[in-house]
Amino acid sequence: MFKRFLISCDKATTICDKSQYKEATFFELIQLNLHLVFCKFCGLYSKQNTKLSEICKQKALDSKQKSQCLSTKEKELLKQQLKEINSN
């Protein structure tokens, strides 16, 4: 019974990754937190993972603000190519 709560570092860090997206289940969170009690490496991983998420969040905000486009020249070229194919 108790064995179900004991997980490897690999499992723990995978759950930790999931929890970064708030997608870990309640049971997984119990497993993770129990593991974190006695594993300082995974504790550090958790901490850094959170930081990584923060930086990603910033990037996500950035990328939502800018949208990229093709240049007018490339579009014109594409138009010509389309026309050629269409007329064949």
Give the separation between CA 69 and CA 88, rounded to whole angstroms. Answer: 29
What 3-state DSSP class applies to 8?
Answer: coil
Please report how close the Cβ of residue 38 comes to another protein at its closest, in angstroms.
Answer: 13
Would you count residue 60 as binding another protein (CB under 8 A)? Answer: yes
- Measured at the CA of 42, the angle between CA 53 and CA 17, to 5 degrees, comes to 35
Give the separation between CA 36 and CA 42, rounded to whole angstroms. Answer: 6
Smallest Cα–Cα separation from 39: which of 66, 8, 75, 83? Answer: 8
Would you count residue 74 as binding another protein (CB under 8 A)? Answer: yes
Would you count residue 5 as binding another protein (CB under 8 A)? Answer: no
Query: Between 1 and 85, whose beta carbon lies closer to another protein?
Result: 85
Binding stretches for another protein (CB under 8 A): 8-10, 13-14, 17-18, 20-21, 23, 41, 44-45, 47-49, 51-56, 58-60, 62-63, 67-70, 74-75, 78-79, 81-83, 85-86
